[in-house]
Structure 1
């Protein structure tokens, strides 16, 4: 239940008791504390969709997947072990791009499926 305008957010220390409870200020007092209940409610403002951030997330995930797939294909096709340096580099680059891409893609999919607890504030603005 939201407090009404007569509720105060000040603590009454005149009693000298150290109970830690908050007491209601007398309603006949004309002095207000300067707070309005509407300032504690978030405004209903629709933010634009961050298309650059979504594009970067997709590029990271797809690029990492492609790098890991190419590294796997090179590893399977490399009979003489001549290109092992390429395989290691592609694997590292793929892992470094697929991990953040997959994490943010999961959060993005949870937002699109309207799961509770996920908002666009969970994704950093990358662009």
Structure 2
């Protein structure tokens, strides 16, 4: 992973004061619009879908709706379903709330996997 080279320079022009000194401009503090992490949202969608499917299958195994021949796989399927469902749901929730514009939620809160 390479770090992009960024040139920094100090603002030294004073407006109206007649002296040379540090000056802050509004452009320094302007935040750019966050980039939408499409790959991370895609991974979260896949995790959510796989987790939901495994939880449903595990629940059907637990209730006996699916043949008892596979009852030894009930708890591993449920645990894997929960492990994959939770991060997918969490990131999709953040993405949805950021897309809807709720305060406190931003696409910056989702890892972008260096898109």
* Cα deviations by residue, 1:11-58 (Å, 9 ceiling, x for unpaired): xxxxxxxxxxxxxxxx46x2313x3323532254x4543221111010
Partner residue of 2:107? 120
Q: Comparing both chains, which one has the higher relative contact order based on Cα–Cα distances under 8 Å and sequence gaps of 6 or more? A: 2
The alignment partner of 1:54 has SS state of: helix
- Say if 2:37 and 2:111, in contact at 8 Å, map to a contact too: no
- Structure with the largest fraction of helix: 2
State the 1:94 CA deviation.
0.4
Structure 2 runs not aligned, ≥5 long: 1-13
Establish whether residue 55 from structure 1 lines up as the match of residue 56 from structure 2: no
Partner residue of 1:32? 21
CA RMSD across the alignment: 2.7
Give the whole-Å Cα distance in 1 for the aligned partners of 2:105 and 2:93. 10
Normalising by structure 2, we get a TM-score of 0.71
* Cα deviations by residue, 1:61-86 (Å, 9 ceiling, x for unpaired): 11100000001111222698553331
Per the alignment, do residues 67 and 79 of structure 1 end up closer, same or farther by CA in structure 2, a change over 3 Å counting? closer
Name the count of aligned residue pairs: 101
Normalising by structure 1, we get a TM-score of 0.65
Show the 5 A alignment for 1:1-127. 5=14, 27=17, 30-33=19-22, 35-44=23-32, 46=33, 48-77=35-64, 82-126=69-113
Structure 1 runs not aligned, ≥5 long: 8-26
